[in-house]
A and B are shown apart, each in its own frame.
Chain A
Amino acid sequence: MIFGRRLKNSINLFSVVSVIAGMLIIVPMLNILVELFSPASDTWRHIQTHLLRGYIVNTLLLIGFVAVFSASIGLFTAYVVTRFDFKGRRLLSWLLILPLAVPSYIAAYTYADMLSYTGTFSRALRAIGLRHGINIMTLPGAVFIFVMTLYPYVYMMVKSALEKQSASFTENARLLGASKFRSFFTIVLPLLRPALVAGTLLVVLETLNDYGVVAYFNVRVFSFAIFDAWERLGDISAAIRLSAVLMVIVFAIIFLERFLRGKRRYTLHVKNRPILRKPLVGLNRYLLPGSLWLIMLFAFFIPLFQLFYYARLTYRHVLDISFIYLVINSLTLAITATFLTILIALMIANFNRGRQSAFKRGLLKVTNLGYAIPGAVIAIAVIVFFIDIDHALYPLYRLFNPDTGRLVLTTSFAMLTFAFVLRFMAIGYNSIEAAYDKVGEKFTEAAYSLNHSKVSTLIRVDLPLIKSGLISAAIIVFIDIIKELPLTLILRPTNYDTLASRVFRYAREEMLQESAVPSLFLIAISTLLIYILTHQKKKGVRIHVRKS
Chain B
Amino acid sequence: MKKMILGLSVFTMMLVLAACQLGTGDGGKSITVYSERHYDTDQLLFDMFEDETGIEVRVIDGNADQLINRLDSEGPDTQADVLIIADAGRLHRAKAMDLLQAVHSDVLNENIPANYRDADAMWFGLTKRARVLVYHPDRVDPSDLSTYEALTGPAWEGRVVTRTSTNIYNQSLMASFIEIMGEEAAKDFAAGLVDSFARTPSGNDRDQAKYVVEGGADVAIMNTYYIGRMLNSSDPFEQEVAETVGVFFPNQETTGTHVNVSAAGVTKHASNVEGAIKFIEFLSSETAQGLFSSANYEYPVNERVEMDALLKEWGAFVAQDINLSVLGEHSYRAAIIMDEVGWE
Contact = CB atoms under 8 A, between A and B. Distances in A.
B221 to A, nearest CB: 16
B25 interface: yes
A232 B171 contact: yes
Given A414-B17, A489-B62, A232 B77 contact: no
A336 B210 CA distance: 43
A138 B201 CA distance: 10
B22 A234 contact: no
B235 A310 contact: yes
Interface in A87-143: 112, 116-118, 122-123, 135, 137-138
B74 A410 contact: yes
B166 interface: yes
Interface stretch (B115-123, B185-193, B304-312, B333-341): B333-341
B93 to A, nearest CB: 6
A493 B7 CA distance: 26
Nearest to B80: A494
A218 B163 CA distance: 9
Given A118-B237, A401-B25, A379 B66 contact: yes
Interface string A275-301: 000000000000000000000000000
Contacts, number: 173
B59 A494 contact: yes
B3 A455 contact: yes
A118 B210 contact: yes
Nearest to A495: B58
Contact of A232 (B69, B226, B335): B335
A456 B233 CA distance: 60
Contact of B235 (A118, A234, A317, A387): A118
A217 interface: yes
Nearest to B236: A313
Given A117-B213, A118-B237, A492-B60, A218 B200 contact: yes
A230 B65 contact: yes
A75 interface: no
A359 interface: no
Interface size class of B (residues with CB under 8 A): 35 or more
B65 A234 contact: yes
Contacts of A360: none
Contact of B18 (A116, A384, A387, A412): A412
Given A135-B199, A232-B165, A117 B241 contact: yes
Main secondary structure of the interface of B (DSSP, over half): helix
Interface residues of A, number: 74
B6 interface: yes
Interface string A381-421: 00110010010000001001101111111111110010000
A220 B344 contact: yes
A490 interface: yes
A511 B336 CA distance: 31
A315 B302 CA distance: 34
Interface string B169-186: 001000000000000000
A228 B166 contact: yes
A376 interface: yes
Interface string B158-172: 000000111010010
A411 B3 contact: no
A51 interface: yes
B111 to A, nearest CB: 25
22 contacts: A12-B3, A117-B214, A118-B235, A218-B200, A218-B202, A231-B166, A343-B10, A387-B74, A397-B22, A404-B22, A405-B271, A407-B74, A407-B77, A410-B74, A410-B77, A412-B21, A413-B20, A494-B58, A494-B59, A505-B38, A511-B229, A514-B234
Interface of B: 2-3, 6-7, 10, 13-14, 17-23, 25, 32, 38-39, 58-66, 69-70, 73-75, 77-79, 93, 164-166, 168, 171, 199-207, 210-211, 213-214, 226, 229, 233-235, 237-238, 240-241, 271, 331-332, 335-336, 339-340, 344
Interface of A: 12-13, 46, 50-51, 112, 116-118, 122-123, 135, 137-138, 215-218, 220, 224, 228, 230-234, 236, 310, 313-314, 317, 336, 340, 343, 376, 379-380, 383-384, 387, 390, 397, 400-401, 403-414, 417, 455-456, 459, 489-490, 492-495, 501, 505, 508-511, 513-514
